[in-house]
């Protein structure tokens, strides 16, 4: 199948723990989810009924969750939006529950379900490995379990977890990520271990969605300043649904601050912006830029890399209307690169599977 | 370029500095590890007086948590925003080719050699038995 447009971020939905995942759970957890009535584990970040979680025309007419039906996803992501391939990123409460053993079994079940009922039914699909970051040891076990299946092309984590992602206890995850050429995909969303904003709890959904950019910024700084890229220079990190237009000012400030305080982190030997250009990638939906060509050009120019941008529709999330998922006013050179070359370079395992 | 006698060697203790005016230029002379270094007394960032800079080690690291110190006292850390400069050549740590402090050649000579000249010593009486710090500007 010709690779013409790789959609790096679409979202299949887990119908329910006691339904969709049941065949894939261990016997212990089968019994537990039944006897304890554990089911509605959707992330608070993406309540299924919220308009953002599913565009109206991408919602199944029978009221089930947007993204839960393979045929609909195929129709939307491939036929309507024009992707030749797409990467499935499951956002579900397995990534957020406090019980790490429950998380591990649920994540394993999700990955088994994705492999059996999505990847095996459509060769255009790839997936991120869902991992229990609540406990890095268990996350490693799950990555090892999937490493041999090249249809899994990245490792999915949430933007807001229990601790910042640069901390040393996560490094074994990054060692495997580098070894198996699995980029770390940080997707918007939170485990709600602390307030979504660094200054406290926002009152409104809009504030939460907006301040997620702060979380992405904190994760970028953490990964750089803790020295992750000195230790794992080939690790790629993909920011998903992070927004894009805040990057220029952030990169400039990161450089400026590093000049004065780099003695805190002498292992960071290059300007943070240079590390960002080399090791970070960003999906282009939503693309939160002003609606004129000149502003878009300036933002791209200030980011200073054409390699960082990855095409994504964010299906079925409601980021745009109509059939064209390419943000307006992007230069043609960026569109060409972000649809094929950049994804293939960022997710090396995309080239390994048929 | 003229040679200016700016201090006796005993006047600037190890780890200390002296600010001098040479032809209208504010220049700071540091004494560290037995050597003297002269730099424009002005951070290229926003003009902080470098006489107030901390004299620190050159700090590098092969990996997180490992701190390697070398050339102790030979790096300047600006008192205002922490930018680091190499006392020996004025180069900044973060962008040595583009951001640097103007530096000047320094020599230490004995009074009996200096008697021969040429040099500029507006405020100095040169004694044969002392050593002097000479800055070329």
Give per-residue pLDDT as tens, A276-297: 999 999 999 999 999 899 999 9
| All domains in chain B, ordered by first residue | 3-136 (2.102.10.10)
Strand-pair partners of A107: none
- Give me the pLDDT at residue A354, please: 57
| Contacting residues for A322 by C-beta, under 8 A, at least 6 apart | none
Nearest to B83 among A260, A269, A271 (CB): A260
Domain A5-346: state its class.
alpha beta
Partners of A265 on chain B (C-beta within 8 Å) are 64
Query: pTM (2 decimals)?
Result: 0.94
Instruction: Determine the length of chain A.
Output: 354
A94: phi then psi, degrees, rounded to nearest 5: -55, -30
- pLDDT at residue number B114: 80
SS3 call for A46: coil
Chain A residues in contact with B56 by the CB 8 A cut-off are 263
The rounded distance, in Å, linking the Cα atoms of A257 and A52 is 36
* Cross-chain residue pair B63–A267, CB shorter than 8 Å: yes
Cα first-last separation, chain B: 5
- Reported confidence tier of residue A3, pLDDT bands at 50, 70, 90: very high
In Å, how far is A133's CA from the nearest CA of chain B? 22
pLDDT score of B133 more than 70: yes
Between chains, do B63 and A227 touch, taking CB under 8 Å as contact? yes
Domain boundaries, chain A: 5-346
Question: pLDDT digit string (tens) for B90-128?
Answer: 999 999 999 999 999 999 999 888 876 666 665 667 777
A230, A262, A263 member nearest B64 (Cβ)? A230
Inter-chain CB proximity A262 and B61 less than 8 Å? no
Task: Give the sign of the dihedral formed by CA B64, CA B67, CA B71, CA B77.
Answer: positive
Contacts of A6 (CB under 8 A, 6+ apart): A83, A84, A85, A86, A87, A310, A311, A339, A340, A343, A344, A347, A350
Burial class (CB in 10 A: 0-12, 13-18, 19+), A19: exposed
B25 reaches A (C-beta below 8 A): no
Q: Which residues of B touch A230 (CB under 8 A)?
A: 63-64
**Chains A, B: CB contacts under 8 A, how many?**
39
Q: Which of A37-51, B36-50, B114-128 has the lowest mean pLDDT?
A: B114-128
Across the interface, whether the CB atoms of A267 and B61 are under 8 A apart is answered yes
Q: Among residues of chain A, what percentage have pLDDT more than 70?
A: 100
Query: Would an 8 Å CB–CB cutoff place A260 in contact with chain B?
Result: yes
Does residue A263 belong to the interface with chain B, where contact is any CB pair within 8 Å?
yes
Q: Where are the alpha helices (DSSP H) in A36-170?
A: 70-73, 100-114, 136-146
Q: Cβ of B8: how many Cβ atoms within 10 Å?
A: 16
Cis-peptide into A62, omega within 30 deg: no
Query: Which residues of chain A have a CB within 8 Å of the CB of B61?
Result: 266-267
């Amino acid at each position: 199948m010709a690779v013409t447009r790789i959609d790096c971020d679409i979202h299949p939905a887990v119908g329910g723990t006691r339904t969709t995942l049941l065949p894939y759970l261990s016997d212990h957890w089968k019994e537990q989810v039944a006897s304890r009535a554990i089911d509605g584990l959707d992330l608070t970040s993406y309540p299924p009924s919220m308009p953002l979680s599913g565009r109206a025309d991408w919602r199944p007419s029978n009221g089930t969750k947007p993204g839960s039906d393979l045929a609909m996803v195929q129709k939307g992501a491939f036929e309507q939006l024009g992707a030749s391939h797409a990467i499935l990123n499951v956002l579900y409460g397995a990534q957020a529950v406090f019980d790490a053993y429950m998380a591990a079994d649920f994540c394993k079940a999700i990955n088994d379900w994705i492999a059996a009922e999505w990847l095996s039914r459509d060769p255009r699909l790839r997936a991120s490995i869902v991992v229990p970051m609540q406990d890095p040891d268990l996350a490693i076990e799950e990555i090892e379990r999937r490493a041999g299946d090249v249809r899994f092309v990245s490792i999915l984590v949430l933007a807001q977890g229990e601790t910042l992602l640069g901390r040393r206890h996560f490094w074994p995850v990054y060692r495997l990520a580098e070894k198996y050429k699995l980029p770390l995909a940080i997707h918007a969303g939170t485990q709600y271990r602390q307030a979504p904003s660094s200054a406290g709890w926002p009152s409104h959904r809009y504030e939460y969605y907006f301040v997620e950019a702060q979380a992405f910024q904190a994760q970028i700084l953490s990964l750089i300043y803790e020295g992750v890229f000195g230790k794992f220079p080939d690790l790629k990190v993909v920011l998903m649904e992070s927004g894009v237009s805040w990057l220029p000012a952030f990169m400039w400030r990161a450089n400026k601050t590093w000049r004065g305080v780099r003695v805190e982190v002498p292992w960071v030997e290059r300007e943070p912006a240079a590390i960002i250009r080399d090791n970070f990638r960003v999906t282009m939906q939503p693309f939160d830029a002003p609606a004129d060509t000149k502003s878009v050009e300036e933002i791209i120019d200030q980011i200073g890399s054409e390699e960082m941008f990855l095409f994504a529709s964010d299906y079925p999330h409601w980021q745009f209307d109509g059939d064209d998922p390419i943000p307006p006013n992007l230069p043609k050179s960026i569109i060409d690169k972000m649809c094929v070359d950049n994804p293939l370079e960022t997710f090396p395992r995309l080239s390994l599977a048929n | 370029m003229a040679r200016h006698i700016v201090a006796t060697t005993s006047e600037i203790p190890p780890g200390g500095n002296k600010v001098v005016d040479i032809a209208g230029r504010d220049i700071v002379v540091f004494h560290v590890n037995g050597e003297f270094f002269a730099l424009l007394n002005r951070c290229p960032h926003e003009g902080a007086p470098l006489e107030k800079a901390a004299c620190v080690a050159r700090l590098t690291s092969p990996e997180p948590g490992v701190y390697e110190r070398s050339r102790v006292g030979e790096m300047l850390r600006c008192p205002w925003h922490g930018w680091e400069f190499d006392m020996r050549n004025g180069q900044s740590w973060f962008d040595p080719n583009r951001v640097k402090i103007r530096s000047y050649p320094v020599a230490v000579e004995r009074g009996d050699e200096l008697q021969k000249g040429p040099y500029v010593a507006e405020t100095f009486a040169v004694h044969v038995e002392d050593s002097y710090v000479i800055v070329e500007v």
